[in-house]
Amino acid sequence: MEITYYPDPFLRKLADPIDKITPAVLKTLDEMIEFMYVANGSGGVGLAAPQIGLSKRLLVMDPSSREDEKIKKPLFFINPVITHVSKEEVEYEEGCLSLPDIFAPVTRPEACIVKYLDRKGQEKTIEADGFLARVIQHELDHLDGKLFIDYLSPLRKQMVGKKLKLLEKIYKEKN
């Protein structure tokens, strides 16, 4: 597995839903969570399938890993959909494995409700707030072709502009 880096157009695609939970889907989820734990040295607490070049509506995350890497509480989401967000919003600095070394404050709803399928194909609902809600929203954005930089004001986008241009240059050189 490799991270797909900005500005790869793949990151802007709408991911395809999972029609059937197969052993291959479960294996992909297991590989994604292990890859995310390895990438956690870069600060990653979540990973969406498009970030590794898969156009699938799959997310893995473990917000607890940022606090204590010895305790693992992995979460797996298949075909997640946000059904409700709170009116209250909070600003918090975000980063992304697909945008290395870029961090900026992003305003998002404080809480959300998400419906998804678990690894057994059972429909589940999670009510999340605080950091967990932020991670869910950030990772789900990847499934819809959005990046955290899309939420930045023109001024804040200008502040990270040099780093974005550097990533664009590196991408052009590799492709």
85 close to 111: Cβ distance less than 8 angstroms: yes
Scanning 40-160, the segments in alpha helix (DSSP H) are 130-143, 154-159
Residue of 110, 139, 168, 173 marked active site:
139
Least Cα distance to 147 among 11, 49, 47 occurs for 11
Distances in Å between the alpha carbon of 16 and those of 25, 58, 93, 142? 13, 9, 29, 12
Counting every residue written for the chain, the total comes to: 175
Least Cα distance to 135 among 44, 3, 46 occurs for 46
Residue 67 known to be catalytic: no
Looking at the annotation, which residues are catalytic? 139
